[in-house]
Amino acid sequence: MRRILWFRRDLRVDDNPLLSFEGEVLPLFIFDTTILEKLPPSDRRLTFIFHTVMKLKEDLHIIGLDLAIFYGKPTDIFDWILTTGSYHEVCASGDYDSYALERDRDISLKLPFNLLHDTYIFKPDEVLKKDGTPYLVFTPFYNCAKKLFQREHLTHYPHTAQKLVAFDYEGLHCIGGDTLTKRPLLLESIRFEPQSLTLQQQMSPQEKLALFATKIETYTNARDFMALDATSALGIDLRFGTISIRALLRWLSEQKKNKVDTEPFFRQLVFRDFYAMLLYHFPHLALENFRYSFKGLEDKEKFEAFTTTRTGVPIVDAGIRQLLETGEMHNRVRMICASFFTKNLLLPWQWGERFFAQHLMDYDAASNILSWQWSAGTGVDPQPYFRIFNPYTQTKRFDKEGTYIKKYLPQLAQTPAKFLADEALLRQYNLAQYPSPIVEHSASSKRALEYFRLSMPEN
């Protein structure tokens, strides 16, 4: 049996079901031009992905395999590979956003496609209501998931595959139509510029886990405080599969044996599954509301202020500055920014989703889309549209000293912390080099409620 192993969201050797086949295999990674063509050469994620792919190639060498690296459109690449010999199937782990599903469907017309389960804890149709339909609310999904969770979700996959020798693994295979050219294996060869990554982004998942082991006890109480480094920072690793979800769960069960309360962290991992399951079953959610016909107001000026850190709301501007400078953003700040965007500015959630998608290192279609819909109050979870975050109260609770805000907005370094959490003070005293808030919280919240009320089905 000869198999093509297509690495996508599972860029690792350890505990990878792709490598647990017997027989000859051709491991493959594709820099997919359909996706890359839409990104600027400065996209930070490509630096991370490129390093990760090079590490995967090295790690495969260690176990006697190699990685063929391609640049082009997957359909052209598979057409070309099929001219080099006969293959029985292509194996890949599940990737469920709409582009991925369409891409895999196209390839399955050329070669039998063996879709493996790897990326999430549960298969997309494993946690369903008694009547076989998907859960729409997280808590019942979570309760059902906990009941179904068992040892098999912790399975470790050994590597047993053997190298397909008759293949040239050197250099970057660039395919345009059915023509092959070769380039050196450099980031510049795929037309991207090397970017500097933060220390955290350079850490291996194992290093992050070792660090997180020292903080997991305080996760519940500290995770919402944006100036504290209290979360795992594994978002990017889960996104690109540099850690296996099962390895993370096995690590968590070791922590549990040491009497650590692991449930709050486990719950967040199940949240990730919940969102993936929802997008799988309701692909139209990528663009359309689940609830309410409200579409937002297309105000380009407000959008520009939001994306260029000029809203005058310090916690929002600090969050966007963190995103633009590092590709990261603390979860609570993501929630505050998304609420401000969709409620106070009344902008379409799809605009915000796209903006985050352009910049987040851990961008994941399901988590991003569903979180934006949740913030907008248009999604499946019954987050009432009338619940609007007050960015000033949030600042008072979670960044009282203004440590996070001052880190990302150094022009506010000398401003007393109480100003940063007080809209009236921000308006009353014009701060040097910092704009006044572009909307008034109470009035803009009232306006949002009115717009949403008008878009309710009974109106």
Judged by the rule CB under 6 A, the positions of this chain that interact with ligand FAD are: 223, 231-235, 238-239, 268-269, 271-272, 275, 331, 334-335, 338, 356, 360, 362-364, 367-368, 371-372, 375
Please say which residue, 319 or 402, places its beta carbon nearer to ligand FAD.
Answer: 319
Given the complex with ligand FAD, which of 99 and 429 has the nearer CB atom? 99
Phi, psi of 31 (to 5 degrees): -80, 100
Cβ proximity to ligand FAD, 238 vs 421, nearer residue = 238
End-to-end CA distance of the chain: 62
Q: How far is the CB of 270 from ligand FAD (least distance, A)?
A: 9
Write down the residue that tokens 């590490």 correspond to.
55
The smaller minimum CB distance to ligand FAD, of residues 50 and 120, is found at 120
> For residues 238 and 277, which CB has a smaller minimum distance to ligand FAD in the complex?
238
Nearer to ligand FAD, 21 or 356 (CB): 356
Q: How far apart are the C-alpha atoms of 434 and 309, rounded to whole Å?
A: 10
Scan for tokens 């520009």, then name that residue.
Answer: 304
Angle between helices 263-281 and 365-376 (to 10 degrees): 90
Query: How large is the C-alpha radius of gyration of the chain?
Result: 23
Q: Based on the number of CB atoms within 10 Å of its own CB, is 115 exposed (0-12), middle (13-18) or buried (19 or more)?
A: middle
Smallest separation, CB 380 to ligand FAD (Å): 13
* C-beta of 344 vs 415, nearer to ligand FAD: 344
C-alpha dihedral sign at 33, 39, 45, 46: positive
Q: Which is nearer to ligand FAD, 103 or 332 (CB)?
A: 332
- Shortest spacing between CB 9 and ligand FAD, in angstroms: 12
How far, in Å, CA of 9 to CA of 100, rounded?
11
Residue reference for tokens 């050994």: 158
What the block records as the tokens of 383 is 């987050």
CB of 70 to ligand FAD, least distance (A): 26
In sequence order, what are the residues at sequence separation of 6 or more whose Cβ sits closer than 8 angstroms to the Cβ of residue 7?
A: 18, 27, 28, 29, 56, 67, 92
Q: Let me know: does 407 contact 329? Beta carbons within 8 Å.
A: no
CB of 175 to ligand FAD, least distance (A): 30
- Distance in Å, CB of 451 to ligand FAD, minimum: 20
CB of 358 to ligand FAD, least distance (A): 11
- Name which of 111 and 154 has its Cβ closer to ligand FAD: 154
For 398, phi then psi, to 5°, come to -110, -10
Question: Which residue, 71 or 374, is less far from ligand FAD as judged by CB?
Answer: 374
Q: How far is the CB of 378 from ligand FAD (least distance, A)?
A: 13
Measured from the CB atom, is 26 or 338 closer to ligand FAD?
338
Minimum distance, C-beta of residue 397 to ligand FAD, in the bound complex (Å): 17
- For residue 303, count other CB atoms closer than 10 A to its CB: 17
The structure tokens 């907008």 sit at: 376
Q: How far is the CB of 381 from ligand FAD (least distance, A)?
A: 11
Residue 4 has phi, psi (to 5 degrees) of -95, 125
Q: Which of residues 71 and 212 has its CB atom nearest to ligand FAD in the complex?
A: 212
* Shortest Cβ 247–ligand FAD spacing (Å): 14
Least distance between ligand FAD and beta carbon 36 (Å): 19
